[in-house]
Chains A and B, each alone.
Chain A
Amino acid sequence: MADSVLNLEEIIISDRVKKHLEVLNLSEDEYRLIVSYLGREPNEVELGMFGALWSEHCGYKHTRKLIKELPTEGKYIYQGPGENAGVVRVDDVAIVFKVESHNHPSAVEPYQGAATGVGGIVRDILAMGARPIALLDSLRFGDVSKPEVRHIVSGVVKGISDYGNCIGVPTVAGEVYFEDIYSNNPLVNVMCVGVTKVDKLVKAVAKGVGNLVVYYGSKTGRDGVHGATFASAELSSEKEDTRSSIQIADPFVEKKLIEATLELVENGLVVAIQDMGAAGLTSSSCEMAAKGGVGIELELDKVPVRVSDITPYEIMLSESQERMLAIVEPSKLEKVREILDKWELDWAVIGKVTDTRRCVVKYRGEVVADVPLKYLVDMVPTYVKPAKEDQNVKKLRDIKPNLIVEDYRDVILKLLSSPNISSKSWVYEQYDWSVQTNTVVGPGRAGASVLRIKGTNKGIAVKIDGNGRYMYASPYNGVMVAVAEVTRNVSFVGAEPAGITNCLNFGSPDDPNVSYQLQQAIKGLAKACKELGVPVTGGNASLYNETDGVQIYPTVIVGCVGIIHDINKIVDGVFKKPGDLIALVGNETKEDFGMAEILKIIGSDVCGKPPIVEFDVEKRLQEFARFVISHGLISSAMDISEGGMIVPIVEGIIDTKLGARIDLSVMPVYPSIALFSETPSRGIFSFDKEFLDTLKMIAEHYGLKFRVIGEVIDKDELVIEGLPEGSLVLSKEELRKAFYSKPF
């Protein structure tokens, strides 16, 4: 700093501080920066606060500059990035949504890690004043044949199930993929969607000098101290003591917190609310005050605590779950008290809003921290680390994949039973997806799930996607495939994509290859969102996903919310009646086998270039889908992604008494390409014969390839004609056995 009286180079850092910096994952240069900001050395509590707010989790050190490229404007946008969650609007309904990661805690303690991941994102939505109405989760696990991976899978699924079910928020959609690379670093990304009226939205902006800071929810314990910094560091088998960083979930308190918070908001009793999530009391108090341009004074003696010998440092950094911080006008405190007492929640007035623009923390009559908020929140150092692509990745990308299919029956059944393609009913049946009675299309029936909005004729479609294997071979193109796929899924039930939320899961940005992946992926995300006209409303970054030097695939998880203008005009992906025609619509099918699922199935090397999205076609296909759905011209629609066209055809019949007859000889490509290619911007549509000519004309208008490839039949089987060996008949029973096989 130019006005600093200190010479940074001359600051001697004691061994004690060095140790503390290591725990906080702060560099010595960052310490020097703090000293220059303050004009003195920070005390222990203050340094802890810097460590938390300057972590990647809270401060976005490595991504803040990059994400500026993302488009944030759109016709449905009501609140872009910067609040607890983004908001899109239709009429007077505000739809609030965000995705967040809980990868590190889930790696160490799968059950609690996943459960608290659900709790955290639900409170982010709640803090906006919205009722949480849906959860989606995107999970990545290692090689499922390994016992230790199975332990993680079971724990994570049960954690989500126990927590989400108990709080009564349906888990309506999601995705699960298994790749060896995630064996020690599973990904648990949870998205939550909430609704409220636009005029009931609450912001996390503290205002009004003299207003009270009200703490409510569970008591504060030592659990999760350093959680935010833990989530922003690499895991190591040597750092076993990180176990203390794990928080324990209490969904019963969360449920009471939801009802109490919504009652506070409904009665207009709060100025601002924020969840005490990552970095707990420190981030919630400092961020709300910084956004409001005010100061905040806290008295830690008043904080409800679990243990009497807890220190001010621990109180400030605890990540005990199910806690909220609200700003309340003194005149409304009595009514706030009534509601919090009714819901049997611990609560206390722990401070007040001041005009100092500082965070002042007192404990037993002494000031234990006094820091200008701008240093903690606004002046976080940001980095764009040197980037260089790993040449081995380039080599992998340049190898042409080798696809030889000899026995079609065998390959199709193997593909359908592979853990990445097979039905995920063994997961989603453990989640209550029908509570709240809004789930019109639930998991397993379509690309996206559909929820109605009670009291209106509107609905929303929600989906989450992200193919890490594609992104590994090409972060830029891989992310674009994810954005295209997630919006396509939403369009294919009849919804208009309104906003995107994303979670950036990467290894350590100190590695030039990871830095390259990060920069390329964000560029791809920005381009895809601009091309498709869908803005980004917010997101989350989870870096340092590596254990003992093994980095995960760069995995950008993209969540999308779409608006359904008439809830009665939707379709799912299930074939409806015999005689309906089946058409392949969209882009021409190409030889897209780069990093494709089928390569693993046939034992070929997984390599090559992931597909490239032609946004012009993609956009027109999505418009076509919405148009024909809104005019009632089609019976079903399902997008084509991993595994190729065969997958949505099987999904169309698998839970029905119907079958399908497909003729591949009408396709201009070889049967193996027709069945298994992963070319984006394509879909399988079924419709009544009488609409054939109309649909052809409309497809022509949209400039799309429209090819009738078969029909729905009144027989429990799938017939594939035009194969090298003639035709193949697969009985529903063998299809079902394959598709519903559990990975363990």
Chain B
Amino acid sequence: MKRRVGVVVFPGVNCDMDTYYVIKDVLKGDVRYVWHTETDLSDLSCIVLPGGFSYGDYLRAGGLAKFSPVMREIKKMAEKGYPVIGICNGFQILVEAGLLPGAFLKNKTLTFICKMQYIKVVNNTSIFTKGYKKGEVLRIPIAHGEGNYYLDGDTLKEVLDNDQIAFQYCSEDGTVGEEFNPNGSTYHIAGILNKNKNVLGMMPHPERASEMILGSVDGAKILKALVD
């Protein structure tokens, strides 16, 4: 079935056009922008919350976007099992909106970090990650100031029990450890799924790793899964 992807635009997001470009021009998918006040998403089969600084990250990252009218509809879609992916700021919004567990802290360096990053596929059963091998190492850029994803012990146990961890930060050869974790996130988590595995939040930017000219195509399969 051909799908139609909605890329949600809150004032202040800045990866909306990049994500749209990859889905439409690189992956040849059907895609449209969704303005944050929209309430009818019935034409869409999946949702991308792109990265950026919705509402300037004022209050805290994602803290204001969760109140936008479109979020009610997105919650409904997520509950019905439609795929929803939040990238970077989109991940933060999904956490703020309660669609994913946890919370975000400032990076352990207390600075913004932008660089190429290695991540490892942990769960490869979800719609987003099924194109990868378990343990496969991907090279995808990160660009964030508040990517230190925090889970308390009970929640960590729960997500481990449910196999919800999609990606972990790692070295080039797949080694996981403190020195390969750029922001200090719990259990080196770079991406996480909800219980039903139809909602994914991830800090790395797959739309920046979908064309060879930009140095990596390792992220393309994640977005491709939404198109096919």
Contact = CB atoms under 8 A, between A and B. Distances in A.
Interface of A: 158, 161-162, 165-168, 250-253, 255-256, 343-344, 428-437, 439-440, 452, 454, 567-568
B137 interface: no
B18 A255 contact: no
Nearest to A254: B56
B91 interface: no
Contact of A439 (B21, B25, B214): B214
B53 A165 contact: yes
A437 B53 contact: no
B12 interface: yes
Contact of A454 (B12, B14, B21, B113): B21
Nearest to B215: A440
B14 A252 contact: no
Contact of B11 (A344, A437, A440, A454): A344
A343 B17 CA distance: 17
B55 A430 contact: no
Contacts of B208: 434-435, 437
Secondary structure call for the B interface: mixed
Contacts of A568: 213
Contacts of B55: 252
A430 B182 CA distance: 12
B29 interface: no
State which size class the interface on B falls in. 20 to 34
A158 B110 CA distance: 11
Contacts of B103: none
A440 B214 contact: yes
Interface string B55-88: 1111000000000000000000000000000000
A160 to B, nearest CB: 10
A193 to B, nearest CB: 17
A166 B12 contact: yes
Interface in B197-228: 205, 207-208, 211, 213-214
Given A166-B57, A436-B18, A252 B113 contact: no
A452 B18 contact: no
Given A429-B115, A452-B213, A255 B12 contact: yes
B56 A255 contact: yes
A439 B214 CA distance: 7
A344 B11 CA distance: 9
Interface centre among A161, A162, A434 (most CB of B within 10 A): A434
A431 B51 CA distance: 15
A165 B12 contact: no
A429 B143 CA distance: 9
Nearest to B207: A437
B12 A161 contact: no
Contacts of B184: none
13 contacts: A162-B112, A165-B112, A165-B114, A166-B57, A168-B15, A252-B58, A255-B53, A255-B56, A433-B114, A436-B17, A436-B18, A452-B213, A454-B21
A437 B18 contact: yes
Contact of B53 (A166, A434, A439): A166
Contact of A429 (B12, B56, B114, B211): B114
A443 B28 CA distance: 30
B114 A434 contact: yes
B141 to A, nearest CB: 5
B52 interface: yes
Nearest to A570: B213
B135 interface: no
Interface in B110-153: 111-115, 141, 143, 145
Contacts of B12: 166, 252, 255-256
Contact of B114 (A158, A168, A432): A432
A166 B114 contact: no
Interface in B1-52: 11-12, 14-15, 17-18, 21-22, 25, 51-52
A7 B224 CA distance: 79
